[in-house]
Structure 1
Amino acid sequence: MLKEKAPMFGYITDSYWSDIGDLKTYMNTNFDALDGKIKLYNKFSGNRLNSQISNEAKIDSPVYIGENCTIKNGAVIKPYSIIGNNCTIEEGSTIKRSILWDMVHIGKNNELRGTIICSKSITKNNVDIYENSIVGDESEISSSALIRPNIKIWPQKYVEEGSIINKNLVWGTKGTKSFFGSKDIKGEINIDITPEFCTLLGSAFVNVVKKSRPIILTCDNSNASNTIKNSIISGITSSGSNVFDCGMALLPMNRYAVRTYNAAGGIHIWTDTDNENTVHIELIDQNGSNISRGIEKKIEQLLIRED
């Protein structure tokens, strides 16, 4: 502009100004809003609207809690914390001078200090995340992981259990997440095991086995297992395969039915006896045995591609 001798103008104002160029400035600007230093339209109109906050949770102002949040027993929200819409804070977790975007799930006994957790990210139990760090969208931090200060984790990253992250995680993951454990798929309902995931799983399973033969479905007597079963059935039928829904039954009965009805395979869903929020999904081959590791890998590839 100077070279071209373009005119330059200035404007003097008493209004708030913040040049947000880094994480620290971004956080401080949000904290200034909590202190009332910024004139906002509809300031905090959704604060705590339709949110369920336990009487045994402790909240120290100033904080902002968005709509439809759940804050459970023993959770502590310390000053200068901002929690977006549809977030869940599990028992015993402490949030201090941190910003959570929308649809974040914080597990039990977490310690969050001066961090930013972006939308749809999940931290499992006993996770510690420290100052000036950020976790990108749709990331998952497994139990007992520790994120050091000043660390940036890019979106859609997976941090394995017990990891200590002391450098930025930009490419790949810290450990590869497998959907299958030693013999089944296991996870928390509506966190790891969602209806959308189960629909994809049903579709992936029939695309690996023979579509021309039916799939046997069984589950235990829990509501969670029945809900998951119905989602899996949707995925199977949408892929053009038939289902024999045998209702509530034990796993050995599923194995027997697969062999008796010459089915392509079976799926059995059951709830963990020690934790009603944890669900197991066992996939059975045409012989009534658990599927091989080779079939697991083919199913995982389809799940990752969301085919």
Structure 2
Amino acid sequence: MKAIIMAGGEGSRLRPLTCDCPKPMVRFLDKPILEYALLHLKAHGVTDVGITLGYLPDRIKDAFGDGESLGISLRYYTERQPLGTAGGVKQAQDMLTETFCVLSGDGITDIDLSQALAWHKERGALATLVLKHVENPLEYGVVVAGTDGRVRSFHEKPDWGEVLSDTVNTGIYILEPEILSHIPDGRAYDFGRELFPRLVEKGEAIFALAMDGYWCDIGDTGAYLRAHCDALDGKIRLPLPARTGGVFRAKSARVDRSAILEAPCFIGENAVIGAGARIGPYSVIGADAQVGARVSVKRSVLWQGACAQEGSQLRACVLVNGACMRPESSAFEESVLGENSVLGARSTLLPGVKIWPGKQIGEGERVAANVVWGTGHSASFESGALLLSSPAQAVFAAQAIAAQRGARELLLSRSGGANASAYARAVCAGLMAQGIQVLDADICTLPQLRHTLSSIGADGALWIADNRLYALDAEGAALDKAAQRAIATLLARGDYTAPFSGITHPVISLGRTDLYYTGHLAPRPIVCECALAVFAQTEPLMSIAE
């Protein structure tokens, strides 16, 4: 039997793990996921393998070459345009002259392929789909088969009301070469959604076999971490280094005598574990990774060359190649620090937060949202204005200002333009989330805003011009340096006090504040001094401006 591995996916749900790495090359117990698929095929006597490529194909070619290092023969088929699962496999028809197996290169499995092949041959099938029983089939393609194994129907990602079986398509197929004639050339075509349903309708011999064994589609960060736990628990038959008391430890790893390793865990080649560090159960420390003194690691995965400096805390997080956590920093459940990114000292990644590659997070920050663009630094004050990088950041800035000022009622206004409008809406949302009564003065100038503030007696005011946020106290004065620093600190840490009330107040529109302002100014005495003469007259200000 020959084999084709589908390895062209981008793995968008796994980003930032896959920002600069094809999904099949994501590290799993210190090896690319794809390597386990190749070794699994070899264990079942399959050594002639083709790989379909799409996203970042050279990364895979450079890693495995012709396959000689693994004792197999590899050929590559690169898609110039997306061809789908079936369309991609048809590219390899020159090598597929006998029964062949199709595997996904971005999943982990130890399913018995030899048993599947024998079952396939016994039934004279054109195609055999390997199925797996799962508790929640909603995210998979459900396959319904009769007692004889012949496929009756397919249901792609059904609702609970449409679930007719708990057996789902694993993406592992045993196929005869004749099936390739049913796949159109040069266009996207899918096995599960198009080819197999069509062949079932035509009455072809399409069978399905539900099998024991482990299978995991690593679709997101949570599944990625759970698969590591399963592997360390021995639920997957994988070629792993020898372990002592449940600890997989490479001979070249350097572990301080005072460090504690709690089984099951994995310590890779040349990894360094510092004094007093504690590596908790289900943790993976990759090759060349460094864990500093007094670091606590629980259920986390560190890729090659990642670094957790002294006193840092890791909880069910992932550090990609070269990522670094500075001293006393923390990363929590399913957070990811991207390749070569740095989490500053005493900073915190909240659960689920993802930092894209090459980002720098400052010291003492509390990161509550993904950092995809920019440097990751918090907003700062400049000439009395808080400079904002995005409307999303404006929401948090408004919460920080409301919390620092202890306000109940704030006036909100903006300059003209689409940017100011977008930022003002975001600021309004942040204020409302903090329980603030927002008084909306819409578009006006700063002098108009100050006059309105003095007239209605609110606790302060905010004015937005483009991406600059100006905060005024109850007297209409700009906030002093101490208040600005306090707001910047709150924004960096995300450490806002709870709203004073559980009620979200509706926004109150103040109408035409410009009319109130011009009415306040007129009439005004105007004095013009011209050389030795003095001219005085009472005129409305607007007529002079005209």
TM-score tier, shorter chain, comes to 0.5 to 0.7
Indicate the residue corresponding to 2:369 in structure 1: 167
Q: Which amino acid aligns with 1:158?
A: Q
Q: Show CA shifts across 1:206-256 (max 9, x none).
A: xxxxxxxxxxxxxxxxxxxxxxxxxxxxxxxxxxxxxxxxxxxxxxxxxxx
- Pairing 1:30–2:228 present: yes
* Selected match of 1:134 from 333, 336, 343: 336
Measure, in 2, the Cα distance between the counterparts of 1:96 and 1:84. 14
Out of 84, 98, 109, the residue aligned to residue 300 of structure 2 is: 98
Equivalents in 2 of 1:159, 1:75: separation in Å? 24
State the distance in 2 between where 1:150 and 1:44 align: 33
Deviation for aligned residue 1:162? 1.0
Displacement after TM superposition at 1:157 (Å): 1.0
Whole-angstrom CA distance in 2 between matches of 1:15 and 1:51: 32
Q: Distance in 1 between matches of 2:296 and 2:239?
A: 30
**SS of 1:28 mapped into structure 2:** helix
Unaligned ranges ≥5, structure 2: 1-193, 379-546
What is the alpha-carbon distance in structure 2 between the residues aligned to residue 124 and residue 9 of structure 1? 54
2:241–2:250 Cα contact (<8 Å) kept: no
**In structure 2, what is the equivalent of residue 82 of structure 1?**
284
**Residue in 1 aligned with 2:268?**
66
CA distance in 1, matches of 2:240, 2:344: 37
The Cα shift of 1:59 comes to 1.0
Instruction: Determine whether 1:10 maps to 2:10.
Output: no
Q: CA deviation at 1:150?
A: 0.9
Residue 149 of structure 1, CA deviation = 0.6
Tell me by how many angstroms 1:12 deviates. Answer: 2.5
- Deviations along 1:7-61, whole A, 9 cap, x unmatched? 5431232121112211111111111000011001245687332111111111111
1:55 aligns with 2:253: no
Measure, in 1, the Cα distance between the counterparts of 2:374 and 2:209: 47
Give the AA of the match of 2:331: I
Deviation at 1:3, TM superposition (A): 4.8
Match of 2:311 among 109, 121, 126: 109
The CA deviation string for residues 121-165 of structure 1, in whole angstroms up to 9 with x for no partner, is: 111101011111111111111111111011111111111111110
Q: Kindly indicate whether the alpha-carbon contact (under 8 Å) linking 1:144 and 1:163 is maintained by their aligned counterparts in 2.
A: yes
Q: Is the 8 A contact 1:44 1:64 kept in 2?
A: no
| CA distance in 2: counterparts of 1:62 and 1:42, whole angstroms | 13
C-alpha separation between the residues in 2 aligned to 1:11 and 1:157? 47
Identical columns (%): 32
**Which moved further from structure 2: 159-168 or 39-48?**
39-48
Letter in 2 for 1:126: E
- Contiguous gaps of at least 5 residues in structure 1: 177-307
Q: Which amino acid aligns with 1:12?
A: A
Amino acid paired to 2:329: V
How far does the alpha carbon of each residue in 1:52-79 deviate from its partner, in whole angstroms, 9 at most, with x for none?
A: 1111111111000001011111101011
- After superposition, residues 278-297 of structure 1 pair within 5 angstroms as none
Any conservation in 2 of the 1:85–1:101 contact (CA below 8 Å)? yes
Aligned partners of 1:56 and 1:105: how far apart in 2? 19
Query: Aligned residues, how many?
Result: 176
Q: Is the 8 A contact 1:121 1:136 kept in 2?
A: yes
> SS state of the match for residue 336, structure 2?
strand
Higher-Rg structure is 2
Q: Is the 8 A contact 2:290 2:307 kept in 1?
A: yes
Matched, 1:148 2:346: no
Q: Partner amino acid for 2:297?
A: I
Structure 1 residue identity aligned to 2:218: I
Q: Does 1:121 align with 2:323?
A: yes
8 A contact 1:141–1:160 mirrored in 2: yes
**1:263 alignment partner in structure 2:** none
The residue matched to 1:18 in structure 2 has which SS?
A: strand
| Aligned counterparts of 1:148 and 1:42: Cα–Cα separation in 2 | 32
Note the 1:216-295 alignment, pairs <5 A. Answer: none
Task: Report the residue type matching 2:363 in the other structure.
Answer: E
Please report how far the alpha carbon of residue 115 of structure 1 lies from its aligned counterpart in structure 2 after TM superposition. Answer: 0.3
* Aligned position for 1:157: 359
Give the Cα separation in 1 of the matches to 2:239 and 2:361: 38
Q: Deviations over 1:238-294 (max 9, x none)?
A: xxxxxxxxxxxxxxxxxxxxxxxxxxxxxxxxxxxxxxxxxxxxxxxxxxxxxxxxx
Distance 2:373 2:262 in 1: 38
Equivalent residue number for residue 241 of structure 1: none
Distance across 1 between alignment mates of 2:265 and 2:346? 26
Instruction: For 1:15, give the aligned amino acid.
Output: G
Q: How many Å separate the matches in 1 of 2:330 and 2:308?
A: 11
Query: Which residue type is aligned with residue 85 of structure 1?
Result: A
